[in-house]
Structure 1
Amino acid sequence: METISLKEQYLAFKAENPKKRIRDIAAALNVSEAELLMTSLGENVIILENTFDALLKEITGLGYVMALTRNEYCVHERKGIYENVSFSPHAGLVLGPDIDLRLFMSQWKLGFAVEDNNLKSFQFFDGNGVAIHKIYLTDKSNVENYHELVARFRKADQQAVVLFPTEPAAKPALPDEEIDVAAFQEAWTGLQDTHEFFGLLKRFNLNRTQALRLAPAGFAKQINTDDFKGVVQHCAEQQVPIMVFVGNHGCIQIHTGTVTRIVEMDTWFNVLDPEFNLHLRMDAVAAVWHVVKPSADGDVNSIELFDNEGEMIVQLFGKRKPGLPELKEWREILANMS
């Protein structure tokens, strides 16, 4: 019996489902997105050298592009220019007014230059072939610079890479009765910076949703999806600037600014603005929390959405910078939630 190659399966599936995205086709064929891309090596896909930090430092030359970061249930797309790109042993940073990223490069294992229907992009994946971050050219981008970068960072060996999928080591949460809840709550109320919260979780060996359940009184409240939608809608109507965080284990992408056009389609809640798009699967949201974290500049309020596994899907704050108190308008919107 003749074996049908993955490439043949991919092409046949695309022919029958022309509107399906590659991520969905990969799931249907029980392979990774990176494996499907590698079926087009030598045609419209090129493997890049694993010197992604050096490449990212050159992305500014592309000019105006679209940055895309997603997790299982939310897609975050932001247009702008990559600026102020830097790397430390702990993380990479892109700190432009439009493109704002936190990069965890140990997870970045594969990179490709892809041209699909005249759409040019750089795409980066983890060791399982799951997408971490993508950079798409726009009609304002420097195409000549793109081709120069592809030539410079092209890997000499263009043979498909064999993936060795690994399961992330899930850290089981301690039972509540083994947590020093009083000490944890005291440490929470003593926070001086929202960035200290991750260290707080590690110190007390808590996962995030467990921490919210055990939070000091008045610092974490479970709300519903309609509350979340209402907050975003009010921010849009009043043009209150917010910060929208979406991430995965290799990249966190942040939009800071207003949102305007809110569109719900089937199970998707969307922001469809010229510079910023968000696509959120509401049927995957298992819990929504209103969280308060103390800081040297006063309390900071966030809305945090989680899936069934307790993984963060998306996080919202009012626009703020260190040294400045939280926006009064953001607090008022949260105070008026149903």
Structure 2
Amino acid sequence: MENVIAHKTENGVALAQAWAGLEAAKPGIRIREAAKELGSSEAALVATTVGKNAIRLNNDWKGLVSRLPELGHVMSLTRNDSCILEHKGAFEKISIGGSGAGVGTVIGPIESRMFFYAWHVAFAVEQEKSGRRLVSLQVFDKAGDAIMKVYMQEGKSDYDAFRRLVEDFTSEDQSQEQFTEPYAVKTYAAEPDAEELLYDWADLQDTHDFHSMLTKHQVHRHHAMELAHGPFTYPVDAISTKLILESASKTKLPIMIFVGNRGNIQIHQDKVRTIRVLERGHNGVETWLNVLDPAFNMHLRQDTVGSAWVVKKPTRDGLVTSVEVYDHNKDLVVSFFGLRKPGQRELEEWRTLVSSLPTLS
């Protein structure tokens, strides 16, 4: 069913005043939280600063992404409501293909899969925060949610290249009001054929075929976990995320971590070292599981985790095992794999770690 809610535009002046009032009442509040409290969007808040410390960029997404390597050593951030990945390094090998709006593939210290059909608006932003100058590129979808942010690193990034990039991609539109549009709620088959789903699941040849299989059967990903319970999936305790990271750190086991949203998936492919659980947030109840390594940070909000599933996918390289973590709305938050490349079999150490996780009935 098509969403009947019309486009929403924010009054830039009124929104800026409301945001300033909220920041005065709650110093240090994060922009994503502020947007929710104000009933607005993050993109709309950023737009109120256009002409002061933000510049609208045009929508030449392929051209923009192809220029990211010029920035040198940066920090790339991708998040959803529950999990954040941050990598420091350079955008190295970038390829852009696919039909229509296309897909961008980034390989190197920063690894991403970019889906340009969801990219709607971008800004170059320069702000002072806690005595630091933060310079970034920020991309948002049509609902105003952040897709990706790229932060310059003092003493390591090429700020001249940043200025040239902004000059080349500045939009003619420099308004302080942002149009947003909510996404239509996806519909799925009320009663998918479990037998046919499991037949196709057993015939998988590559992990990348999994999404198309779900689309073919019009089944929600979490519902697929339930339908495949036994042959290919089983639930584990939500504490498994912490156990995975702590065990991988202790044994120096290289793993893969996938975190995404509508427009970008960021991927970690390496070891993890420093694992910490911290509380933060203005309500004092947010519990975050963190990886705090020099070139990689992960932040997982544990109080939003609803379930975790072990998932087994047959491939031409043998069985591939992952752990998928879902929030209370049954949306995918983060996925964990043992590090492997196409043509390689899965690490036995990873399978051993997964088999040790506490199972649920």
TM-score (norm 2): 0.88
Query: Which residue number corresponds to residue 129 of structure 1?
Result: 144
Question: CA deviation digits over 1:55-102, x for unaligned, max 9?
Answer: 110010001111111111111111111122222234423332211111
Residues 1:115 and 2:155 are matched in the alignment: no
The correspondence for 1:102, drawn from 109, 113, 126, is: 113
Query: Which residue number corresponds to residue 73 of structure 1?
Result: 82
Query: Which residue number corresponds to residue 212 of structure 1?
Result: 225
Q: How many residue pairs are counted as aligned between the two chains?
A: 333
Query: Which residue number corresponds to residue 353 of structure 2?
Result: 333
Which ranges of structure 1 fall in alignment gaps of 5 or more residues?
Answer: none
Query: Which residue number corresponds to residue 169 of structure 1?
Result: 185
Query: Which residue number corresponds to residue 159 of structure 1?
Result: 175
Conserved 8 A contact 1:245-1:316 = yes
- Greater percentage in strand: 2
Provide the C-alpha distance between the structure 1 equivalents of 2:229 and 2:333, rounded to a whole number of angstroms.
Answer: 23
- Superposed displacement of residue 196, structure 1: 1.0
Secondary structure, in 3 states, of the residue corresponding to 1:309?
coil
Secondary structure, in 3 states, of the residue corresponding to 1:334?
helix
Residues 1:198 and 2:211 are matched in the alignment: yes
Conserved 8 A contact 1:81-1:96 = no
Query: Which residue number corresponds to residue 39 of structure 1?
Result: 48
Conserved 8 A contact 1:26-1:33 = yes
Provide the C-alpha distance between the structure 2 equivalents of 1:164 and 1:171, rounded to a whole number of angstroms.
Answer: 22
Q: Which moved more, 1:296-305 or 1:262-271?
A: 262-271
- Superposed displacement of residue 20, structure 1: 1.1
Provide the C-alpha distance between the structure 1 equivalents of 2:196 and 2:174, rounded to a whole number of angstroms.
Answer: 55
Which ranges of structure 2 fall in alignment gaps of 5 or more residues?
Answer: 1-12, 280-286
Query: Which residue number corresponds to residue 326 of structure 2?
Result: 306
Query: Which residue number corresponds to residue 257 of structure 2?
Result: 244
- Superposed displacement of residue 120, structure 1: 0.5
Provide the C-alpha distance between the structure 1 equivalents of 2:290 and 2:43, rounded to a whole number of angstroms.
Answer: 26
- Superposed displacement of residue 161, structure 1: 4.2
Provide the C-alpha distance between the structure 1 equivalents of 2:217 and 2:172, rounded to a whole number of angstroms.
Answer: 47
Secondary structure, in 3 states, of the residue corresponding to 1:15?
helix
Query: Which residue number corresponds to residue 35 of structure 2?
Result: 26
Specify the code of the residue in structure 1 equivalent to 2:126.
E
Conserved 8 A contact 1:188-1:216 = no
Secondary structure, in 3 states, of the residue corresponding to 2:179?
coil
Q: What is the aligned-residue identity percentage?
A: 37
Provide the C-alpha distance between the structure 1 equivalents of 2:333 and 2:342, rounded to a whole number of angstroms.
Answer: 24
Provide the C-alpha distance between the structure 2 equivalents of 1:137 and 1:86, rounded to a whole number of angstroms.
Answer: 22
Query: Which residue number corresponds to residue 181 of structure 1?
Result: 194
- Superposed displacement of residue 306, structure 1: 0.7
The correspondence for 2:166, drawn from 141, 150, 153, is: 150
Provide the C-alpha distance between the structure 1 equivalents of 2:302 and 2:229, rounded to a whole number of angstroms.
Answer: 28
Specify the code of the residue in structure 2 equivalent to 1:170.
K
- Superposed displacement of residue 216, structure 1: 6.4
- Superposed displacement of residue 167, structure 1: 2.9
Secondary structure, in 3 states, of the residue corresponding to 1:225?
coil
Conserved 8 A contact 2:144-2:180 = no
Provide the C-alpha distance between the structure 1 equivalents of 2:57 and 2:199, rounded to a whole number of angstroms.
Answer: 49
The correspondence for 1:316, drawn from 320, 325, 336, is: 336
Provide the C-alpha distance between the structure 1 equivalents of 2:222 and 2:172, rounded to a whole number of angstroms.
Answer: 45
Provide the C-alpha distance between the structure 2 equivalents of 1:69 and 1:225, rounded to a whole number of angstroms.
Answer: 22
The correspondence for 2:24, drawn from 3, 11, 15, is: 15
Query: Which residue number corresponds to residue 243 of structure 2?
Result: 230
Q: Which moved more, 1:78-87 or 1:38-47?
A: 78-87
Query: Which residue number corresponds to residue 91 of structure 2?
Result: 82
Conserved 8 A contact 1:181-1:214 = yes
Conserved 8 A contact 1:85-1:92 = no
